[in-house]
Amino acid sequence: MVFYCPSCWHDVQKECYICPACGFDIRAFFENKDYVDKLVVALDHPDAATPVRSAWILGQRREERAIEPLYNLARHSPDLYVVAAAVKALLDIGTAESLARASVFSEHPSIMIRNLFMGSMPDNSTTQPGNDEKHFRK
C-alpha cells in the first residue's frame, strides 16, 4: 500500500511521521481526524481515483459534513469524472442543502454531468408534505 503526505501528496513510508519532502507533521495531523475527516482530505488527492473513491464513500454514508468540500471539488476540478463523482455524492447525500448544491450542475456543459440529474432530483409536484417516500423524475 502506498502512503502519502496529506500536505504535499509526496509518497511516504507507512512509519513516516514527518514528511521528508515538506516537513509536515503527518502523525499530529491525523491524530485528531476521524474517518470522515480523512475522506474529506482525500478529496484533494492528485490521483483522480482517490477523490472519486472518497466521494463515493461519502455519498454512500450520506455524510453531511462533506457537502461543502464535495461542492468545492465539483466546482474546481478539471477532471469530469471527479466532478461527476462529487455531484453524484451530493445527490446521494440527499439533504435539501446537498441537493441545492448539486442542482447548480444541472446545466453543466458536459452531458455526462447533466445526465446525473435524470431520475435523481425530487419532483416537488408529487411529493406530499409529511410523506417520507421520495418521488423522483427527470
What is d(CA 64, CA 112) in angstroms, rounded to the nearest whole number? 24
According to the model, what pLDDT value does residue 122 have? 57
Q: Which residues of the chain have pLDDT under 50?
A: 124-138
Q: Check whether residue 78 and residue 133 sit in a common domain.
A: yes
Do 11 and 70 fall into the same domain? no
> pLDDT at position 71, please?
98
- Shared domain check, 87 and 39: yes
The pLDDT, as a whole number, for residue 132 is 34
Residues 88, 41 within the same domain = yes
Do 45 and 21 share a structural domain?
A: no
Spatial contact of 74 and 86, defined as CB atoms under 8 Å apart: yes
The reply to whether 17 and 57 lie within a common domain is: no
* CATH assignment at residue 84: 1.25.10.10
- Asked whether residue 13 falls in the same domain as residue 40, the answer is no
- What is the reported pLDDT for 2? 82
| The predicted structure's pLDDT at residue 32 | 87
Based on the fold, state whether residues 47 and 27 are members of the same structural domain.
no
The three grid cell numbers given for residue 48, joined into one nine-digit string: 483522480
Q: Which is nearest to 37 in space by CA: 76, 63, 2, 60?
A: 63
Q: Kindly list the distances between the CA atom of residue 28 and the CA atoms of 24, 87, 104, 137, in Å, as whole numbers in the listed order.
A: 9, 31, 37, 47
In terms of domains, do 26 and 48 share one? no
Q: Identify the pLDDT of residue 12.
A: 93
39 and 67 in a single domain? The answer is: yes
- Domain enclosing residue 46, as ranges: 35-137
Residue-level pLDDT at 94 = 96
Domain count for the chain: 2
**Same domain, residue pair 51 and 98:** yes
* Same domain? 27 vs 69: no
Write out pLDDT tens, residues 78-96.
999 999 999 999 999 999 9
